[in-house]
């Protein structure tokens, strides 16, 4: 099925006049580096200035922001890994590229159009290193070396075009991926332009830091978010039936690393998936650092909110320790580019596959259309078109990466692509006439871990309308069918705690946004493409 969906015809048509910045770029073809991390929240990237990041800064990412443009309103179209990765490659919404959720059914068909394939055809050298998280062999890359599924922090397994079998490699994951990227740059054909995707595993659950950082920030107390003890009182039931709270679902052993609570030291769990991969010396060091801290906490016999607060501190500390390694590794790549004269003619993009909750609403994980997971960090540096230390507040989305890269390379953008090039924003950060004033979001991965109900919605600069709708039957077996709406007044209620959908004062806003959502769903053919949720298959699986 092909879609003719150019949501911003004015901007797109205005993009390629002869003599324009892009036409000039075609003469000296720009290199592309897309650095995408996993679950990295904008709250922990210090260029954004959030309170956690002030205590745990990211100097190298800030250095990239100081060279380029920081996007404050960058969003994904589906806040979960595999769909987001397929969206990056195709410039399409999830239901169009086929990877609407995690898992293999339905899965992204690797034979479809992707921007790396088009760049490769246009003479680019292409490569991807790190997390792939799709169920097909990478296509459109001269070289690839990818992690096994989510990968591990310690001594991960990789499959490459040269060695398709997964093999263990010694080292810490962020370091290995950066080595691979630099090594590839070093040995590339220097006569050709390149497009390199560096896809880190960091900072995905369960946040195993590099040992040199395992006690970093130990003496810091990180501030709790305002909504840490949210009671979800104004919302649809979805916010109450999710299973991603720090209080209930963050695990003491697997997530918080209180290994003393393990009855069987060889138990199969996500703690041991990392810990037992470590060398005996690493295990010893790990226990030397975490052991006394855990003992101290256990001796206090914490209960109730005190325990939740302790878990929060352990979570944030391990998370920002992983961010620290990531920041170092981005710095190492930037150094390489500087030292090899590549920083001028390379567009360097830093983003994440989606955002993440740092305790807002008492959550970790993502998936919801609320700000912290819908939004994602984004920095773009390209000195030929972007002034240093600029900020862009316009609405951009991960459907825009593919067309941006194609436009930069002077390659024609296929009509089926839904996003638009971000290049018109580069000069000043201000949008030209006709730029989008709304974003569509959809989420399908239910029933699934964390039990977030299916929903979609529309966000404008002032409001967010969310529609939760599915048949129920998820991992919280009491879930019945849901068909429920939420509206947030983003200017008055930026933390999204006050659902005003039923407030008569917002009746006009609701009517307008419902129409806009219906129009968007019709334009994108959402209804006809939504895959059927197989309740019986799920129930059978659960009862085994």
| Contact residues for ligand SGN, defined by CB under 6 A | 38-39, 80-81, 102, 150, 204-206, 270, 365, 449-450
Binding mask 69-98 for Ca ion (x = CB under 5 A): ------------x-----------------
Are 376 and 369 in contact by the 8 Å Cβ rule? The answer is no
| 206 interface partner picked from ligand SGN, Ca ion, none, CB below 5 to 8 A per type | ligand SGN
Minimum CB separation from ligand SGN for residue 176, in Å? 19
Reduced to 3 states, what is the DSSP secondary structure of residue 489?
A: strand
Minimum CB separation from Ca ion for residue 240, in Å? 24
Are 34 and 116 in contact by the 8 Å Cβ rule? The answer is no
* 88 vs 185 by CB, closer to Ca ion: 88
| 324 interface partner picked from Ca ion, ligand SGN, none, CB below 5 to 8 A per type | none
Q: Does 38 bind Ca ion (CB under 5 A)?
A: yes
Nearest by Cα to 225 from 311, 306, 302, 312: 312
Minimum CB separation from ligand SGN for residue 318, in Å? 12
Q: Which residues contact 412 (CB under 8 A, 6 or more apart)?
A: 406
Q: Which residue number places its CB atom closest to ligand SGN? A: 81
* 62 vs 372 by CB, closer to ligand SGN: 372
* 80 vs 127 by CB, closer to ligand SGN: 80
CA angle at residue 292 from 290 to 293, to 5 degrees? 65
| 270 interface partner picked from ligand SGN, Ca ion, none, CB below 5 to 8 A per type | ligand SGN
Q: Give the separation between CA 56 and CA 219, rounded to whole angstroms.
A: 12
Minimum CB separation from ligand SGN for residue 452, in Å? 9
Q: Does 353 bind Ca ion (CB under 5 A)?
A: yes
Q: For 12, how many CA atoms within 13 A lie in the half-sphere containing its CB?
A: 18
Minimum CB separation from ligand SGN for residue 270, in Å? 4
Which of 25, 31, 39, 152 forms a contact with Ca ion (CB under 5 A)?
39
Q: Give the separation between CA 393 and CA 419, rounded to whole angstroms.
A: 17
Binding segment for Ca ion (CB under 5 A), chosen from 85-93, 321-329, 349-357, 492-500, is: 349-357
* 207 vs 228 by CB, closer to ligand SGN: 207
Q: Does 372 bind Ca ion (CB under 5 A)?
A: no
What letter would DSSP give residue 532?
Answer: P
Reduced to 3 states, what is the DSSP secondary structure of residue 378?
A: strand
Minimum CB separation from Ca ion for residue 158, in Å? 19
Q: Which residues contact 519 (CB under 8 A, 6 or more apart)?
A: none
Are 248 and 450 in contact by the 8 Å Cβ rule? The answer is no
* 204 vs 235 by CB, closer to ligand SGN: 204
Minimum CB separation from Ca ion for residue 51, in Å? 23
Q: Which residues contact 230 (CB under 8 A, 6 or more apart)?
A: 239, 360, 361, 362, 497
* 361 vs 521 by CB, closer to ligand SGN: 361
* 80 vs 347 by CB, closer to ligand SGN: 80
Reduced to 3 states, what is the DSSP secondary structure of residue 205?
A: coil
What letter would DSSP give residue 359?
Answer: S
What letter would DSSP give residue 76?
Answer: -
| 450 interface partner picked from Ca ion, ligand SGN, none, CB below 5 to 8 A per type | ligand SGN
Q: Give the separation between CA 207 and CA 153, rounded to whole angstroms.
A: 8
Quick check: bond before 206 cis, omega within 30?
Answer: yes
Minimum CB separation from ligand SGN for residue 371, in Å? 18
Q: Give the separation between CA 319 and CA 308, rounded to whole angstroms.
A: 16
Reduced to 3 states, what is the DSSP secondary structure of residue 362?
A: helix
Binding segment for Ca ion (CB under 5 A), chosen from 235-243, 303-311, 353-361, 479-487, is: 353-361
* 329 vs 365 by CB, closer to ligand SGN: 365
The DSSP H or E segment spanning 62 is helix 59-67
* 38 vs 274 by CB, closer to Ca ion: 38
Which residues in this chain contact Ca ion in the complex, by CB under 5 A? 38-39, 81, 353
């Amino acid at each position: 099925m092909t879609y003719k969906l150019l949501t911003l015809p004015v901007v797109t048509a205005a993009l390629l006049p002869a003599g324009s910045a892009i036409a000039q770029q075609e003469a000296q073809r720009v290199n592309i580096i897309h650095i995408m991390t996993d679950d990295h929240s904008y709250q922990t990237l210090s260029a954004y200035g959030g309170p956690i990041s002030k205590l745990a800064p990211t100097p190298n990412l800030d250095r990239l922001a100081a060279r380029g443009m920081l996007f404050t309103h960058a969003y994904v179209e589906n806040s979960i890994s595999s769909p987001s990765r397929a969206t990056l490659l195709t410039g399409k919404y999830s239901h169009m590229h086929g990877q609407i959720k995690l898992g293999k059914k339905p899965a992204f068909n690797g034979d479809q159009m992707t921007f790396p394939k088009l760049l490769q055809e246009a003479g680019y050298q292409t490569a991807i290193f790190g997390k792939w998280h799709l169920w097909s062999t990478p296509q459109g890359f001269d070289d690839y070396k990818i992690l096994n599924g989510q990968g591990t922090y310690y001594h991960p397994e990789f499959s490459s075009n040269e060695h398709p079998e997964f093999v263990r490699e010694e080292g810490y994951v962020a370091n290995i991926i950066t080595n691979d990227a630099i090594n590839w740059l070093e040995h590339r054909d220097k006569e050709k332009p390149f497009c390199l995707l560096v896809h880190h595993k960091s900072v995905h659950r369960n946040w195993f830091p590099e040992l040199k950082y395992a006690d970093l920030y130990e003496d810091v107390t990180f501030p709790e978010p305002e909504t840490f003890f949210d009671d979800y009182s104004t919302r649809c039931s979805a916010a109450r039936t999710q299973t991603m709270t720090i209080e209930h679902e963050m695990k003491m052993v697997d997530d918080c690393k209180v290994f003393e609570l393990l009855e069987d030291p060889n138990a199969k769990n996500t703690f041991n998936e990392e810990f037992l991969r470590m060398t005996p010396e690493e295990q010893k060091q790990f226990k030397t650092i975490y052991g006394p801290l855990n003992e101290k906490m256990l001796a206090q016999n914490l209960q109730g909110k005190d325990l939740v607060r302790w878990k929060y501190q352990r979570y944030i500390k391990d998370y920002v320790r992983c961010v620290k390694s990531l920041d170092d590794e981005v710095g190492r790549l930037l150094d390489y580019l500087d030292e090899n004269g590549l920083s001028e003619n390379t567009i360097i993009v830093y983003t994440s596959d989606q955002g993440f909750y740092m305790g807002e609403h008492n959550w970790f994980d993502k998936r919801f259309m609320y700000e912290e997971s819908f939004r994602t960090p984004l920095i773009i540096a390209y000195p030929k078109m972007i002034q240093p230390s600029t900020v862009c507040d316009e609405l951009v989305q991960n459907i825009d990466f593919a067309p941006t890269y194609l436009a930069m390379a002077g390659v024609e953008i296929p009509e089926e692509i839904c996003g638009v090039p971000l290049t018109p924003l580069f000069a000043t950060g201000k949008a030209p006439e006709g730029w989008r004033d709304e974003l569509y979001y959809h989420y399908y991965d239910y029933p699934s871990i964390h039990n977030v109900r299916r929903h979609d919605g529309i966000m404008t600069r002032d409001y967010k309308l969310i529609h939760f709708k599915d048949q129920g039957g998820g991992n919280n077996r009491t879930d019945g069918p849901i068909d429920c709406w939420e509206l947030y007044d983003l200017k008055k209620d930026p933390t999204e705690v006050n659902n005003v959908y039923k407030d008569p004062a917002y009746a006009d806003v609701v009517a307008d946004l419902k129409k806009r959502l219906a129009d968007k769903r019709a334009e994108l053919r959402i209804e006809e493409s939504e895959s059927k949720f197989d309740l019986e298959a799920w129930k059978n699986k659960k009862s085994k």
